[in-house]
């Protein structure tokens, strides 16, 4: 089971006189990850190394550390903690003692693993987006029943005859909710699956 972060998490540790600060945040797109990295970067620090994973996509960067000693261990720590849709920046202030390649791998991976262990996390649930229409006469009843069944209204647009909703629904419940919706609207409703997007 994968986990999503509930918010920003921080963990700081001094390792052989170098200071390491790990900051992790949720990210649902590469653009979100890039925006976070831009704000988390500490220009006065020696290194700002990072990694992110969003579904099957991932990136990492060593920022001047020897190749494979920073970005990849950060990514491996993300995977080791079963986190998804997450970006992590690790900032290092060099303290004068070289750690060696093995020491760097352990330091970067270790501070990220601890940061993510301490973070507020929730299980990741795959969701689907659905657009459906509802006549004004059915609106209150249909809204209440869909809400009870776990659908979340993300958007609603009112027209002359009723409302059009964009719903977020747990993927495993999508078929059951479609059946419920068609029964509630006596077969007159329109139910359109928008995507297979996964979002927690």
Q: How far apart are CA 118 and CA 111, in angstroms?
A: 11
What is the reported pLDDT for 89?
98
* Mean per-residue pLDDT over the chain, rounded: 91
In terms of residues, how long is the chain? 200
Local structure of 69: helix, strand or coil: coil
Q: Where in the chain is the domain with CATH 3.30.70.240?
A: 127-195
Residue 138's pLDDT band (cuts 50, 70, 90)? confident
Q: Output the pTM of the full model.
A: 0.68
Q: Where in the chain is the domain with CATH 3.30.230.30?
A: 3-123
Q: How far apart are CA 14 and CA 21, in angstroms?
A: 9
- Between 3.40.50.150, 3.30.230.30, 3.20.20.70, 3.40.50.720, what CATH number should domain 3-123 receive? 3.30.230.30
Q: How far is CA 87 from the centre of its chain?
A: 8
Q: Determine the average pLDDT of the residues in 172-190.
A: 88
Contact 170, 150 (CB under 8 A): yes
Architecture of domain 127-195: 2-Layer Sandwich (3.30)
Lowest mean pLDDT among 23-32, 63-72, 108-117, 167-176: 167-176
Cβ atoms within 10 Å of 118's Cβ, excluding its own: 13
Contact 63, 47 (CB under 8 A): yes
CA proximity to 125, closest of 198, 35, 23:
198
Q: Determine the average pLDDT of the residues in 74-82.
A: 96
Which residue has tokens 């290194």? 47
Contact 124, 13 (CB under 8 A): no
């Amino acid at each position: 089971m994968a986990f999503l972060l509930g918010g920003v998490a921080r963990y700081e540790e001094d390792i052989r006189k170098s200071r390491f600060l790990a900051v992790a945040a949720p990210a649902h797109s590469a653009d979100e990850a890039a925006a976070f990295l831009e704000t988390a970067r500490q220009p006065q620090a020696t290194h700002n190394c990072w990694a992110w994973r969003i579904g099957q996509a991932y990136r990492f960067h060593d920022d001047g550390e020897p190749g494979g000693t920073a970005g990849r261990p950060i990514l491996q720590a993300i995977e080791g903690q079963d986190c998804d849709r997450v970006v992590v920046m690790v900032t290092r202030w060099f303290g004068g003692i070289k750690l060696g390649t093995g020491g760097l791998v352990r330091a970067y991976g270790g501070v990220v693993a601890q940061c993510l262990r301490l973070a507020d996390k929730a299980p990741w649930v795959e969701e689907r987006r659905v657009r459906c229409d509802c006549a004004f006469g059915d609106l209150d009843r249909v809204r209440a029943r869909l809400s009870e069944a776990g659908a979340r209204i993300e958007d609603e647009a009112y027209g002359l005859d009723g409302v059009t909703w964009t719903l977020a629904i747990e993927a495993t419940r999508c078929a059951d909710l479609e059946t419920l919706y068609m029964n509630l609207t006596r077969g007159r409703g329109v139910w359109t699956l928008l995507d297979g997007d996964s979002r927690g």
